[in-house]
A and B are shown apart, each in its own frame.
Chain A
């Protein structure tokens, strides 16, 4: 049990020991081992990114099939579980089409940058006990800062495509991301006020010592989920893509590998949002019987499934309603929540 719980920590330790041994052998300063470990962590995060994207794409299609009373993909591999692998291979092999009028460098850069924000965010995510690559004192602030960047590549994509649909989509991304940043920050602020720390691991410790924050901050939890949907541009907030209005929105001029990168990045962004919700509200990686990282994956799985369920149930919100809902409902609601939280925390302290 203890071994399974610490399996990834042990692997990291093994790597570090190996590097130290190698450096000693070559007569180089041992401090370089830490530099090498960055590469190992980075590799780990890439693997997590790719696996979660591949898994959740197929899981979404399966769940959508279930919701829509059809079998869903069931051909490639056992019961169709390898479909995303096939899809990825197909997309890689497709011709890379760049429109004539596009800003070619930005067009490419946008696709490449799409993966960066979720990877940066996952670096500070506590996957399990001692499994935080970057255990920052201001972990929450860091994650919020880098997830905000996620709208930048999408804006670049819309701008570089030189297409009106894409440009409209890009404008909507910025609209939405900036607006929903505010209530999301207020949600997280409520959590921080209760737990009294910005450190993600300490927030989890606080929850282990007391109670899951979802019980103390149910409103903040619900609003966080809504804002997370909006930040990830997921239905019912998928206006930037808005298939029935903007054809494919910002991704209209993307195909092949470049489109695949955006597509996978979307799922990674969702995974980050789900991971943060788990950490802040659902006690993070803690739980009985099973290893910590399994609990983390299970909790994120539930939230991801919720995101998918919402996507396949609701119509899309109109662009002006998105903003009205944010500024006239969510922001006042969260300000009130922060006020109440502050008063209660002050009185109890």
Chain B
């Protein structure tokens, strides 16, 4: 981009890795001309733990808890693609109740993750109070998970062949609390944020991603749907028992930061309805098996398998290659946040300093997943 102002000097500003609104340790090296961004380059790797190598050097069962640490805001959702991929190789059949429990826990954590995404987004725009109300709802969601499997954030709830624990009475009470509290919260939050003039000015027309761009850069999840591409794995390539449920997939056309907020808010309603539906279906399978027939020591037949799921941040894929030993030969994850941030260097130039923060926040990224 040409420097229009001959009297000004460009400078490089290093946002992060220690910066309050880079959602962890993302680092953006950006050139500025005054307040306007000229070029931006996201640098990653500050949270790299060698997740794939860790999984390869451990047995399948030992490796499972590590997957929770990818997108640590929704632990269960990361277990699922790994479990599905390994189960494809094992060829085990998953009991119906186990599948429903997987879906229910995933949807609950999806809601919890969206609450963080929305809350932090508004907070990064400067409205600090707006983070506390969604976190309250997230708390209710985590309470359900706590009652279900004893852990709040990194649950490791999904096992190869099924799930760790069965639904119990405490879960009923905790889930009821979430179901009761959520609709009034959503209504209140719409009132608080939706028509705020400053919020609209800050987000409308900022960071516009066209449908073509979104597809070209491999955006997935809510970010893709906010750009007008109606694609949701749960509907278009169902896994578990999602084909049994009917649900709406909201789509926005604008593709800007505001559309991404609206998209997440609308999806929250869908998730809420889905939780109710799955819960009702779960109630009908009372007393069913929660674990398929899986040997004590997992020796996965040689071969390759790929499974993908719709995670809160986008499509999470897992590739497992086995040579018949107790630990995988190769594991690779397609992490949605990693693919989503690739567009930053094209999206950010031309925007103001504050818009960079808006763009980062609107994509709802998690660094645990990006750096793996």
Does A317 count as interface, using CB distance less than 8 angstroms?
yes
Does A319 count as interface, using CB distance less than 8 angstroms?
yes
Which residues does B use to contact A, with CB under 8 Å?
11, 13, 19-21, 35, 122-130, 132-133, 136, 196, 198-199, 201-202, 352-357
- In the assembled complex, the CB of B214 is this many whole angstroms from the nearest CB of chain A, namely 25
In the bound complex, CA of A319 to CA of B352 (Å)? 8
Q: Is the CB of A236 within 8 A of B126?
A: yes
Q: Is the CB of B19 within 8 A of A70?
A: no
Known contacts A245-B21, A313-B127, A314-B127; is-contact A319 B132 (Cβ 8 Å):
no
Q: Is the CB of A320 within 8 A of B196?
A: no
In the bound complex, CA of A68 to CA of B119 (Å)? 12
Contacts of B136 in A (CB 8 A): 69
In the bound complex, CA of A317 to CA of B196 (Å)? 11
In the bound complex, CA of A67 to CA of B192 (Å)? 12
- Which of B20, B122, B133, B354 has most chain A Cβ within 10 Å? B354
- In the assembled complex, the CB of A69 is this many whole angstroms from the nearest CB of chain B, namely 6
In the bound complex, CA of A168 to CA of B30 (Å)? 14
- Which of A64, A247, A318 has most chain B Cβ within 10 Å? A318
Can you identify 11 A-B contacts, CB atoms within 8 angstroms? Answer: A69-B132, A69-B136, A164-B13, A244-B357, A247-B20, A313-B127, A314-B127, A314-B196, A314-B198, A315-B202, A318-B352
Does A312 count as interface, using CB distance less than 8 angstroms?
yes
Contact of A317 among B198, B353, B356 (CB under 8 A): B198
In the bound complex, CA of A319 to CA of B358 (Å)? 13
| Complex: chain A residue closest to B11, CB-CB | A164
Contact of B353 among A64, A168, A235, A315 (CB under 8 A): A168
Contacts of B130 in A (CB 8 A): 315
Chain A: interface residue total (CB-CB under 8 A): 28
Contact of A318 among B13, B129, B202 (CB under 8 A): B202
Please provide the chain A residues from 207 to 253 with a CB less than 8 Å away from any CB of chain B in the complex. 235-236, 238-239, 242-247
Contact of B129 among A68, A316, A321 (CB under 8 A): A68
Q: Is the CB of B353 within 8 A of A245?
A: yes
Known contacts A164-B13, A316-B354; is-contact A247 B19 (Cβ 8 Å):
yes
Contacts of A315 in B (CB 8 A): 122, 125-127, 130, 196, 198-199, 202
Contacts of B123 in A (CB 8 A): 244
Contacts of A321 in B (CB 8 A): 198, 201-202
- Which of A245, A246, A247 has most chain B Cβ within 10 Å? A245
Contact of B198 among A68, A239, A312, A316 (CB under 8 A): A316
In the bound complex, CA of A203 to CA of B123 (Å)? 42
Please provide the chain A residues from 281 to 327 with a CB less than 8 Å away from any CB of chain B in the complex. 312-321
In the bound complex, CA of A246 to CA of B124 (Å)? 11
In the bound complex, CA of A236 to CA of B19 (Å)? 20
- In the assembled complex, the CB of A170 is this many whole angstroms from the nearest CB of chain B, namely 13
In the bound complex, CA of A235 to CA of B126 (Å)? 8
In the bound complex, CA of A164 to CA of B13 (Å)? 7
In the bound complex, CA of A245 to CA of B37 (Å)? 13
User: What would 18 more interface pairs be, CB under 8 Å, given A164-B13, A316-B198?
Assistant: A68-B128, A68-B129, A68-B132, A70-B132, A239-B354, A242-B126, A244-B21, A244-B125, A245-B357, A247-B19, A316-B127, A316-B202, A317-B201, A318-B201, A318-B355, A319-B35, A319-B352, A321-B202
Contacts of A245 in B (CB 8 A): 21, 353-354, 356-357
Contacts of B353 in A (CB 8 A): 168, 245-246, 319
In the bound complex, CA of A244 to CA of B21 (Å)? 5
In the bound complex, CA of A238 to CA of B126 (Å)? 9
Q: How many A-B residue pairs have CB under 8 A?
A: 80
Contacts of A64 in B (CB 8 A): 128-129
| Complex: chain B residue closest to A321, CB-CB | B201
Q: A-B pairs with the 8 shortest C-beta distances?
A: A316-B126, A315-B125, A244-B21, A68-B132, A315-B127, A315-B126, A244-B124, A318-B354
- In the assembled complex, the CB of B117 is this many whole angstroms from the nearest CB of chain A, namely 15
| Complex: chain B residue closest to A236, CB-CB | B198
Q: Is the CB of B352 within 8 A of A320?
A: yes
In the bound complex, CA of A165 to CA of B21 (Å)? 14
| Complex: chain A residue closest to B127, CB-CB | A315
Q: Is the CB of B354 within 8 A of A69?
A: no
- In the assembled complex, the CB of A235 is this many whole angstroms from the nearest CB of chain B, namely 6
Q: Is the CB of B125 within 8 A of A316?
A: yes
Contacts of A69 in B (CB 8 A): 132-133, 136
Contacts of B35 in A (CB 8 A): 168, 319-320
Contacts of A235 in B (CB 8 A): 126
- In the assembled complex, the CB of A122 is this many whole angstroms from the nearest CB of chain B, namely 29
In the bound complex, CA of A249 to CA of B154 (Å)? 35
- In the assembled complex, the CB of B252 is this many whole angstroms from the nearest CB of chain A, namely 20
| Complex: chain A residue closest to B203, CB-CB | A315
| Complex: chain A residue closest to B193, CB-CB | A315
| Complex: chain A residue closest to B125, CB-CB | A315
In the bound complex, CA of A67 to CA of B132 (Å)? 9
In the bound complex, CA of A313 to CA of B357 (Å)? 19
Contacts of A243 in B (CB 8 A): 20, 126
Q: Is the CB of B354 within 8 A of A242?
A: yes
- In the assembled complex, the CB of B14 is this many whole angstroms from the nearest CB of chain A, namely 8
| Complex: chain B residue closest to A70, CB-CB | B132
- In the assembled complex, the CB of B350 is this many whole angstroms from the nearest CB of chain A, namely 13
In the bound complex, CA of A86 to CA of B122 (Å)? 31
- In the assembled complex, the CB of A172 is this many whole angstroms from the nearest CB of chain B, namely 8
- Residue interface mask A126-149, B partner, CB < 8 A = 1: 000000000000000000000000
In the bound complex, CA of A320 to CA of B34 (Å)? 11
In the bound complex, CA of A176 to CA of B355 (Å)? 19
| Complex: chain A residue closest to B128, CB-CB | A312
- Which of A70, A165, A314 has most chain B Cβ within 10 Å? A314
Q: Is the CB of A67 within 8 A of B357?
A: no
Contacts of A313 in B (CB 8 A): 127, 129
- In the assembled complex, the CB of A278 is this many whole angstroms from the nearest CB of chain B, namely 27
Please provide the chain A residues from 66 to 93 with a CB less than 8 Å away from any CB of chain B in the complex. 67-70
Contacts of B126 in A (CB 8 A): 235-236, 238, 242-244, 314-316
In the bound complex, CA of A70 to CA of B136 (Å)? 10
- In the assembled complex, the CB of B32 is this many whole angstroms from the nearest CB of chain A, namely 8
In the bound complex, CA of A98 to CA of B11 (Å)? 23
In the bound complex, CA of A238 to CA of B199 (Å)? 15
In the bound complex, CA of A238 to CA of B198 (Å)? 13
- In the assembled complex, the CB of B78 is this many whole angstroms from the nearest CB of chain A, namely 27
Contacts of A236 in B (CB 8 A): 126, 198
In the bound complex, CA of A244 to CA of B125 (Å)? 7
- In the assembled complex, the CB of A225 is this many whole angstroms from the nearest CB of chain B, namely 16
| Complex: chain B residue closest to A239, CB-CB | B354
